Chain A
Amino acid sequence: QQQVKQSPQSLIVQKGGISIINCAYENTAFDYFPWYQQFPGKGPALLIAIRPDVSEKKEGRFTISFNKSAKQFSLHIMDSQPGDSATYFCAASWGYQKVTFGIGTKLQVIP
């Protein structure tokens, strides 16, 4: 049973466009929502994270939007670049490192 549902599984975006990846959760005990970025042949690396008391967090071209009442959060990548092509995982955690991951979204940004 997937505790964090992530969509889409794959995404193709034109260079300069906006990439949007959505995640939904059920467990209201989750208190930390990180996104990880994974390039081929590498392990995932933390990209950006948000706490549930904040509705939006922006770091450069990457923004997390968080809707606590709907139990949904999303990653927006503005001005998407070919170098952003990677697999993105949303995650949710509670307690100390009790982390559950989404299934991942493979993003391809085409020139």
Chain B
Amino acid sequence: EAQVTQNPRYLITVTGKKLTVTCSQNMNHEYMSWYRQDPGLGLRQIYYSMNVEVTDKGDVPEGYKVSRKEKRNFPLILESPSPNQTSLYFCASSGAAGQGSYNSPLHFGNGTRLTVT
């Protein structure tokens, strides 16, 4: 089954304790990205990756790191989490664009709910 898998689904941690949220896709997609979802703010992009070893900042990158050493994996790292990073996080992937410049759809994982106390 084609899917994007995130782990863990739920995570409670304390301020300053480094954590990693894993993301893996089995669709051989080049593009992967991380979003956070907050009430009243919708989905905001944190980082994205166009391919292996190619990453770039999204709209809200502060406090986050990513790496893309393999095509299928795109972990999100919070080196010193703070309470304002309490949120619902989604990883997404996408294949090559379709006809012309139009995009293929984003495939999302089921989310990781992070609470930082």
Number of A-B pairs whose CB atoms are under 8 Å?
62
State the CA gap A44–B106 with chains docked (Å). 9
Interface of B is mostly: strand
Decide yes or no whether B75 CB sits under 8 A from chain A: no
User: Is A46 engaged at the interface, CB distance under 8 Å to the other chain?
Assistant: yes
Count chain B residues whose beta carbon lies closer than 8 angstroms to a beta carbon of A.
Answer: 27
Please name all residues of chain B whose beta carbon is closer than 8 Å to the beta carbon of A12 when the two chains form the complex.
none
Please tell me the size bucket of the interface on A.
20 to 34
A2 to chain B, nearest CB (A): 8
> Closest B-chain residue to A6, C-beta based?
B42
In the bound complex, residues from chain B placing their C-beta under 8 Å from that of A41 are 110-111
A31-B101, A31-B102 known; A43-B42 Cβ under 8 A:
no
Bound-state Cα–Cα, A34 to B43, Å? 14
CB atoms of A103 and B105 under 8 A apart: no
Q: Which of B47-103 contact A (CB under 8 A)?
A: 48, 50, 59, 90, 92, 94, 97, 101-103
Give min CB distance, B43 to chain A, whole Å: 4
